[in-house]
Structure 1
Amino acid sequence: MTNPLSDLILGFQDLVAAVPDLVQPLIVALAGAVPFIEGEGAAAIGIIGGIHPVVAAIAGAVGNLLCVAVVVLATSRVRTAVTTRRGGSAEPQSPRRQKFERAYHRYGTAGVSLLGPLLLPTQFTAAALTSTGVPPLRVIAWQAAAIALWTTAVTLVIAGVIRFAG
C-alpha cells in the first residue's frame, strides 16, 4: 500500500522537473501550502528538483505562510461569528482542546508556534491559537517566525548533505 503523502511529494518533485525554470518556485510555493509538507518539505522538494536552495526556501516558506494567513483569517472570522452568536458563553472543552490549552498556557504563543511544527502542521497550530482568542496578527507573526526558522534549518541541512555527497 502506498503512502498518500509520499505520492504527493513525488508528484510535486515530478512537476518541478517538468515545468520551466521560472515556474518551478511557484510549484514549490504550492507544495509549501500543503499541511505536513510545509515550507521545509517544499524547500526540500525544490532543492532535490534542482532549484537553488535560497529560492526553494523562500518559495516554500512563502507558500506555507500564505496558507497559514488564510487559515488564521478564516478561523478568526468563524470564532467571531460563533462567540457573537453564543453571547460569549463557553461550552465544555474536549480532552484534546484541554491539552492544547495547557500547552498554550505553559509555552505561550511563541513557544506553541516555534515548537508546534514538531507535532502538527503550522496550519493546524495557527487555527488552534486563533480559536483560543489570540489576535490574528500575533499568530501570523509567530507562525512566520516558525516557518522561517524551520524552513531555513531544513534547507541548510539538505544543502549541506547534497554538498557533502556531491
Structure 2
Amino acid sequence: MFSKLKDFFCKTYPIFRYDFFIPVALYKRIEAVEGEVSPQSIRLFFSKAPYSLSKGQLQITQEANKLFFVQIAFYEEDKRAHFQKEMEDYKEVFPFWTVFPHSFHGAPRWNQGYQEHYRDTFLKYWHFLSIEEQEKYMETYHCPEDWRLWLKDYRQ
C-alpha cells in the first residue's frame, strides 16, 4: 500500500520547455485582446483557448519596455512542438533601440545577461531580413542614425 502511495505522490513527469521573447505581432494581439501587455495580461491571454495554459506552466519576466520573456513548461512533447510551430508565424521582434533606448551597441550590458540574450534574438531576426526589408524595418521603428550606421557596417 505504501509503495503505491509513494509512486502516486513521487512520480515524475518529463517537462518540455519552450521559451521566447514576445514578438511584435503577438504583443499587439495581446494588447488588443487584453487591453494592455503586462505579465498578468500575458498569463490571462495564454490561459484562454486555444492555449489553455495553467498558471504553473508559465513564467513571465518583463526585461524592459515592450520586452517580455516567457518560459512555458509542457508536459507533452507534441503540445510543445505544436506551440513552437505556431510561434514560427511570429518572427518580427522589437528593435534593440526601442527595447533598450539608453543602451547602444558595444555598451557594457550589450554582452551580458538578458541584453545579450535579446541582442542575439534581434540579430538573428535582422539576418533573416533582406536588405530592402531591413531598410523598411529601420524606417518603421525610427532607427537612430548611430544604429543605422552600425547595422549597415554589421551587414557587411
TM-score (norm 2): 0.29
Q: Which has the higher helix share?
A: 1
TM-score (norm 1): 0.28
Structure exhibiting the larger radius of gyration computed from Cα positions: 2
Q: Which has the higher strand share?
A: 2
